[in-house]
Amino acid sequence: MSKRNISDDEFYVIGQQGQDSNDKKKKLLKIFLNVLAVLLCATVITLILQFTVFRSTTKQDDTEPIGKQNLGIDYPYVERLDTIVKGLELTLYIPHNAFPSVTVGSPDSTSLPDEAVLAFRAADLSPEGELVGVFVCDGVVYQSKKESSSKTGYCAVIDGEITVGTAESTPLFEKAVEHNGGFFRQHSLVADGKVMTTEGEYSNATLRRALCERNGQVFVAVCKEGTMHNMAQALASLGVDEAVYLLGFTKSFNGWWRDADGKVEFFRKSDEYSRYEYENYIVWE
């Protein structure tokens, strides 16, 4: 049928059907590409936000204190936490609202001061009960000789603030004397986040205790059965910045801890106990 022979009841469509089909395909493709671009942008933004939150959370976790904060309690108490790090079972004793000090002499277990919430044996004694290495209590120098070169770790308590560190020489010794503070030396376990022990050093697995500092928070860590080296490794993995060894003989009076309810638990499990004149403790009260 030609255009010239169109009758009155017929009509003729002018245009190209193939061109309309191509236009529709182009429009659909354009819409699809726009939607895809929006989805890609949204995905990229989401990933950026998630990465930012992850970094922020990781940084926050690195700086958060171990254990709970004060829980609205304004009096001294100790929080206990049990954890496993690198296969080693650790118990952490975290003092809250308490001030540390170094003491000399054997505390009377039958009449403990109500203020004392945590106490651990601190510096080494010789078999004769004499202090080994430099030691200061209330500004008094009890011992300044016989310092073992292997004991580069130290604890200084000055004006109610405690510092745990590692150094062959530190001005904190003299400062402790001047400010009526405390100072003692012990084996260094962790310094600046790095393990300071070796595999063969004190390799027997036994009860171990350490005074630790992590992001300014000081606490005591105890493992029931471990070598000095694997305890140091566990503490470094825990994020501890500084750690020095503490004594923990079974037959010695090696302290106690008091929880938020006032309940006292002694670390010594045996009634057999030998007192020494220069037995010394680090105490929080």
Q: pLDDT for 214-238, tens place per residue? A: 999 999 999 988 899 999 999 999 9
CA 270 to chain centroid: 31
pLDDT in tens, 22-32: 666 677 777 77
Highest mean pLDDT among 26-35, 66-75, 256-265 belongs to: 256-265
Give the start-to-end residue ranges of the domains of the chain.
1-63, 77-284
Q: What confidence tens digit (pLDDT) does each residue in 38-71 have? A: 777 777 666 655 544 333 333 334 557 788 766 6
Predicted confidence band at 5 (pLDDT cuts at 50, 70, 90)?
low
Q: What is the pTM of this model?
A: 0.74
Task: Please state the rounded mean pLDDT for residues 246-260.
Answer: 76
For range 65-83, the mean pLDDT: 85
Query: For 154-157, which contacts have Cβ atoms below 8 Å and span 24 or more sequence positions?
Result: 154/183, 154/184, 154/185, 154/186, 154/244, 155/102, 155/122, 155/182, 155/183, 155/184, 155/186, 155/211, 155/244, 155/282, 156/181, 156/182, 156/183, 157/100, 157/101, 157/102, 157/181, 157/182, 157/183, 157/282
What gap in Å lies between CA 91 and CA 232, rounded to an integer?
Answer: 14
Q: Using alpha carbons only, what angle is made at residue 101 by residues 100 and 105, rounded to the nearest 5 degrees?
A: 140
For residue 182, give the 3-state DSSP assignment: strand
